[in-house]
Chain A
Amino acid sequence: MTQAIALAAALAGFWVLLSGYWLPLIIILGIASILLCVYIAHRLDVCDHEGHPVHLTVPGLWYFPWLVKEIVVSNITVAKAILFGGVRPQVLRVKASQSDELGQTVYANSITLTPGTVSIDVDNNYITVHAIMDGTADGLRTGEMDQKVCKLMGDPVSESGSAKA
Chain B
Amino acid sequence: MNIEIITSDLLNVATLVIMGITGLAIARIRNLFAVVMLSGIYSLMGATLYVILDAVDVAFTEAAVGAGASTVLMIGTLALTSDREKATPNTRAIKGLFVCTLIFAALVYGSVDMPLYGDPAAPIHNHVAPRYLGESMGEIGLPNVVTSVLASYRGYDTMGETFVIFTAAVGVLTLIGRARRKKGGKDGGRGS
Q: Which of A5-13, A21-29, A78-86, A109-117 contacts B (4 or more CB under 8 A)?
A: A21-29
Give CA–CA (A161, B4) in the complex, Å.
56
Q: Chain B residue with minimal CB distance to A20? A: B143
Q: Chain A residue with minimal CB distance to B137? A: A23
Interface of B, secondary structure class, is loop
CB-CB under 8 A from A25, the residues of chain B are 141-142
CB-CB under 8 A from B141, the residues of chain A are 23, 25
Give CA–CA (A25, B141) in the complex, Å.
8
CB-CB under 8 A from B143, the residues of chain A are 21, 23, 26
Give CA–CA (A158, B142) in the complex, Å.
58
CB-CB under 8 A from B142, the residues of chain A are 25-26
Q: Chain B residue with minimal CB distance to A44? A: B191
B123-146 residues at the A interface, CB under 8 angstroms? 141-143
CB-CB under 8 A from A23, the residues of chain B are 141, 143
Interface residues on B, range: under 10
Give CA–CA (A25, B137) in the complex, Å.
12
Give CA–CA (A23, B140) in the complex, Å.
12
CB-CB under 8 A from A26, the residues of chain B are 142-143
B190 to chain A, nearest CB (A): 12
Give CA–CA (A25, B139) in the complex, Å.
13
B43 to chain A, nearest CB (A): 23
B90-144 residues at the A interface, CB under 8 angstroms? 141-143
CB-CB under 8 A from A21, the residues of chain B are 143
- Binary contact readout B139-158 vs A (1 if CB under 8 angstroms, 0 otherwise): 00111000000000000000
Give CA–CA (A99, B5) in the complex, Å.
57
- Binary contact readout A6-48 vs B (1 if CB under 8 angstroms, 0 otherwise): 0000000000000001010110000000000000000000000
Give CA–CA (A25, B138) in the complex, Å.
13
Give CA–CA (A25, B142) in the complex, Å.
8
Q: Chain B residue with minimal CB distance to A24? A: B141
Give CA–CA (A112, B141) in the complex, Å.
46
Give CA–CA (A90, B141) in the complex, Å.
60
B53 to chain A, nearest CB (A): 23
Q: Chain B residue with minimal CB distance to A21? A: B143
A78-130 residues at the B interface, CB under 8 angstroms? none
A30 to chain B, nearest CB (A): 13
Give CA–CA (A26, B141) in the complex, Å.
9
Q: Chain B residue with minimal CB distance to A25? A: B141
Give CA–CA (A26, B142) in the complex, Å.
8
Give CA–CA (A8, B142) in the complex, Å.
23
Give CA–CA (A141, B165) in the complex, Å.
53
Q: Chain A residue with minimal CB distance to B143? A: A21
Q: Chain B residue with minimal CB distance to A29? A: B142
A15 to chain B, nearest CB (A): 14
Give CA–CA (A25, B152) in the complex, Å.
15
B20 to chain A, nearest CB (A): 29
Q: Chain A residue with minimal CB distance to B141? A: A25
Q: Chain A residue with minimal CB distance to B140? A: A25
Give CA–CA (A23, B143) in the complex, Å.
9
Give CA–CA (A23, B138) in the complex, Å.
12
What are the 6 A-B residue pairs with the smallest beta carbon separation, nearest first? A25-B141, A21-B143, A23-B141, A26-B143, A23-B143, A25-B142
- Between-chain CB contacts (< 8 Å), 7 pairs: A21-B143, A23-B141, A23-B143, A25-B141, A25-B142, A26-B142, A26-B143
